[in-house]
């Protein structure tokens, strides 16, 4: 266990009857970092988090937060945003936030002041007295995030925090997450938004079938999958070629992996010769999205 590890998981195994869902998983989350916890549905991410928080009893292994198994007394140090949201939907928004703030050790007045300021920031100042079940799903999600971070927890575990958000709201919530990191919080972020991971995360782990398929800094993971890649912006699809493999392709964007000995300039010349307009052409390492596709296959990518 590294001296700066806030979360330590070693030789973790989880069986449900005859089914093994986690196999000898080991990793650390360092204090002060943003850690990306990646994998498709069913890969074992939520099972690992629930075992870390004492919801599940592990079949084998060690899972600790700040050097000890999680105890309810640590709740004030932890902010957990589960994928399945849990709020008292028949109660007014502000009352609910104040209630949770008091549970986290805040005074009623401090929780109320913090909540009103947060609702203003996320565009919900007129929803303070509205029952939660009258809010949209996205609005409820904003409230849930507020409840999660309101006591400035040392450790934040965010399970798909921007799921279903439009780009504007996603950017706003990610800015809040960035602020928490700047304030010294350690963040574990479960997400399928690979752009957010590449921009925010210091290190990542990628699970498949309960086994770590990649672990390290974003750069280390990219380098471990090797090869020269090029990100291309074009309104036309990039055609197949023996000189490269198309890793990902969506409208307006593609990523290709070059064959051994092929230079990026030769590919650009070929595309121009074929009349394919190219507005962006950036050589570099494989994106996390293309690595995800390589590990899982295109059908697993959201």
Q: Domain for residue 129, yes or no? A: yes
Q: Domain for residue 58, yes or no? A: yes
- Where is pLDDT greater, at 13 or 299? 13
Q: Domain for residue 296, yes or no? A: no
Do both 105 and 140 map to the same domain?
yes
Q: Is 90 exceeded by the pLDDT of residue 241?
A: yes
What is the per-residue pLDDT for 280?
A: 94
* Contact assessment for residue 258 and residue 244, using Cβ atoms and an 8 Å cutoff: yes
Do both 24 and 62 map to the same domain?
yes
Q: Is 50 exceeded by the pLDDT of residue 302?
A: no
Q: Rounded to whole angstroms, how far apart are CA atoms 288 and 277? A: 25
* Contact assessment for residue 284 and residue 258, using Cβ atoms and an 8 Å cutoff: no
Q: Domain for residue 271, yes or no? A: yes
Do both 201 and 240 map to the same domain?
no
DSSP string, 178-237: HHHHHTT-EEEEE-S-HHHHHHH-SEEEEEETTEEEEEEEHHHHHHHT-S-EEEEE-SSP
CATH number at residue 22: 3.40.50.300
Q: Domain for residue 291, yes or no? A: no
What is the per-residue pLDDT for 169?
A: 85
CA atoms within 13 A on the CB side of 32: 5
Domain that holds residue 107: 5-222
Do both 18 and 145 map to the same domain?
yes
Do both 187 and 129 map to the same domain?
yes
Q: Is 60 exceeded by the pLDDT of residue 301?
A: no
Do both 187 and 258 map to the same domain?
no
Dump strand ranges (E) for the chain: 5-16, 19-30, 34-39, 60-65, 78-81, 155-159, 186-190, 203-208, 211-217, 229-233, 244-250, 253-258, 280-284
The end-to-end CA distance of the chain, in Å, is 34
Q: Is 50 exceeded by the pLDDT of residue 187?
A: yes
Do both 26 and 159 map to the same domain?
yes
* Contact assessment for residue 62 and residue 11, using Cβ atoms and an 8 Å cutoff: yes
Do both 17 and 86 map to the same domain?
yes
Q: Rounded to whole angstroms, how far apart are CA atoms 280 and 269? A: 13
Do both 135 and 278 map to the same domain?
no
Residue with tokens 């390492």: 285
pLDDT 10s digits, 7-39: 999 999 999 999 999 999 999 999 999 999 998
Query: Please, which pLDDT band fits residue 137 given cuts at 50, 70 and 90?
Result: confident
Mean pLDDT calculated for residue range 218-235: 88
Boundary-marking domain end, from 171, 190, 222 = 222
What is the per-residue pLDDT for 2?
A: 61
Mean pLDDT calculated for residue range 34-62: 92
Q: What is the mean pLDDT of the chain?
A: 89
Do both 119 and 249 map to the same domain?
no
Do both 100 and 248 map to the same domain?
no
Do both 82 and 187 map to the same domain?
yes
pTM of this prediction exceeds 0.85: no
Instruction: Count structural domains, the chain.
Output: 2
Q: Domain for residue 293, yes or no? A: no
What is the per-residue pLDDT for 166?
A: 81
pLDDT 10s digits, 282-296: 998 888 888 888 888
pLDDT 10s digits, 121-135: 999 999 999 999 899
């Amino acid at each position: 266990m590294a001296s700066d590890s806030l979360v330590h998981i070693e030789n973790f195994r989880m069986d449900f009857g005859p089914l093994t869902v986690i196999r000898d998983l080991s990793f650390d989350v360092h204090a002060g970092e943003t850690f990306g916890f990646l994998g498709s549905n069913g890969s074992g991410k939520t099972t690992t988090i629930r075992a870390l928080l004492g919801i599940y009893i592990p079949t084998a292994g060690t899972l600790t937060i700040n050097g000890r198994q999680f105890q309810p007394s640590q709740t004030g140090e932890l902010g957990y945003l589960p994928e399945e949201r849990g709020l008292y939907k028949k109660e007014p928004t502000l009352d609910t936030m104040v209630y949770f703030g008091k549970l986290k050790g805040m005074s009623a007045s401090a929780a109320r002041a913090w909540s009103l300021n947060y609702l203003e920031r996320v565009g919900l100042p007129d929803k303070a007295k509205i029952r939660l079940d009258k809010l949209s799903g996205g609005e409820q999600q904003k409230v849930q995030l507020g409840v999660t971070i309101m006591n400035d927890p040392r450790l934040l575990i965010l399970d798909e925090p921007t799921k279903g958000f439009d780009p504007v709201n996603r950017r706003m919530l990610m800015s809040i997450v960035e602020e928490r990191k700047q304030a010294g919080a350690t963040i574990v972020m479960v997400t399928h938004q690979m752009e957010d991971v590449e921009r925010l995360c210091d290190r990542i782990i990628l699970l498949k079938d309960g086994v770590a398929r990649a672990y390290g800094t974003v750069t280390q993971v990219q380098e471990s999958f090797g090869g020269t890649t090029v990100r291309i912006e074009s309104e036309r699809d990039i055609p197949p070629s023996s000189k490269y493999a198309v890793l990902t392709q969506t409208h307006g964007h593609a990523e290709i992996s070059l064959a051994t000995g092929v230079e990026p300039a030769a590919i650009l010349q070929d595309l121009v010769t074929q009349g394919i307009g190219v507005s962006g052409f950036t050589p570099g390492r494989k994106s996390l999205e293309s690595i995800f596709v390589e590990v899982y296959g295109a059908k697993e990518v959201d």
